[in-house]
Amino acid sequence: MIVLLVFMSAQVFAKKQKKILIIESYHKEFKWDSDYRKSISDYLKANYTLSFFEMNTKKISKQNYENVAQSAWEYSLDYNPDLVILGDDTALSLLGERFEHAKIPTVYLGIKSDPKLYFDKDPLYITGIYAKPLVLKTAQYLKEILPKTKRALILFDKSKSSEVLYQEILKNINNNYVSGILFQVETIENFINWQSLVLNARRNFDVIIVGLYQYLKGENGNEIDSEEVMKWTSKFTPVPVFGLWDNSVGKEKAIGGLVVSSSAQGYEAAKMAEKILIYPHVLPKSIPPVYVEEGSVLFSKFQLKKWRIKLSKNLVHDASFID
């Protein structure tokens, strides 16, 4: 009888567990995704049932985005989640309106654009976490790492997210100067043009800062693998390269930087999701979006050695190191 009661209690508890669907713009092998997936799982898996859907948009053409969005939507209808988490701009832009119209509470993370761009009117059932790069603070760190830096080139692909960030950066840079560094921002569509700017950077710049690079196109119009972009850039750059996101730093990537962490994005999104589920009568709209401003200082030990860069004691104390 006791065993039966325990079994029945477990069944009741299982039925009461709320379900959360996490829809990724990319795929679980991509480090940005894998890090925020882990944070979400670690925070929520004990009390909620989680399911993941990978849209895999880095490996398909843009012509197929609508098809994969439809597949994600159909999966959500079958899964019937109590709440949805949308990872990054692509998922939000393709699916945000659908979940809003369905009145399904939704939390976004990793959003680099203004979320309002993806809706006809301000959503009631959607809120989330911004992932905007800390360009102004990065300039201050550059001066500490390489005091002689006077000119910096910031490179972005030509995605929607990059265009928004480009305008924001220009708006916040006074005559293109920050902390005594002259910044030039370039948005690039083709990998060939990206390569040309990198190879010739020494003529006009002391450092390169890599922004978004996931949607560069090859000669045939195909999208270049983002890992290959960073690997090539790191190998052939004539000047030090720094990054704005944690997945751009590493042995065959950027030296380091004040980066936006996807782990922190996942953690904040998980906290917000739980808050919404605990208080179901409160509209997500009433929970303001979170802008994770602090960032984290991250360096590649291999790249520091390669470029013979020695950090101050204060930076060593504040920073995290990989490889």
Alpha-carbon gap, residue 91 to 245, rounded angstroms: 19
DSSP secondary structure letters along 60-99: S-GGGHHHHHHHHHHHHHHH--SEEEEEHHHHHHHHHHHH
Model confidence at 293, in pLDDT bands (50, 70, 90)? low
Q: 22, 54 in Cβ contact below 8 A? A: no
For the chain, what are the domain ranges? 2-130+262-291, 135-259+296-322
Q: 260, 132 in Cβ contact below 8 A? A: yes
What's the mean pLDDT in 52-69? 91
The region of weakest confidence among 82-96, 128-142, 242-256 is 128-142
DSSP secondary structure letters along 126-186: EEEEE----HHHHHHHHHHHSTT--EEEEEEESSHHHHHHHHHHHHHSBTTEETTEEEEEE
Model confidence at 174, in pLDDT bands (50, 70, 90)? low
Alpha-carbon gap, residue 232 to 196, rounded angstroms: 12
Say whether pLDDT at 181 is over 80.
Answer: yes
Q: Half-sphere exposure of residue 246, counting CA atoms within 13 Å on the CB side?
A: 23
Which listed CATH number (3.40.50.2300, 3.50.30.60, 3.40.50.150, 2.40.50.140) goes with 135-259+296-322?
3.40.50.2300
pLDDT at 294: 67
For the chain, percent of residues with pLDDT exceeding 90: 67
pLDDT at 176: 78
pLDDT at 7: 45
Same fold, 2-130+262-291 and 135-259+296-322: yes
Q: Residues 123-149: pLDDT tens digits?
A: 999 999 998 888 778 888 899 999 999
Say whether pLDDT at 219 is over 70.
Answer: yes
**Torsion of the alpha carbons at 157, 159, 165 and 170, rounded to the nearest 10:** 60
pLDDT at 147: 94
DSSP state for residue 234 in the 8-state scheme? H
Q: Residues 3-43: pLDDT tens digits?
A: 444 444 444 444 579 999 999 999 998 888 999 999 999 99
Sheet arrangement for strand 207-210: 177-178, 181-188, 151-157, 207-210, 241-243
Average pLDDT value over all residues in the chain: 90
pLDDT at 8: 46
Instruction: Say which CATH architecture domain 2-130+262-291 belongs to.
Output: 3-Layer(aba) Sandwich (3.40)
* Tokens describing residue 215: 């949607």
What is the radius of gyration, based on Cα positions, of the chain? Answer: 21
What's the mean pLDDT in 217-221? 89
The region of weakest confidence among 19-23, 49-53, 294-298, 305-309 is 294-298
* Cα distance from N-terminal residue to C-terminal residue, the chain: 56
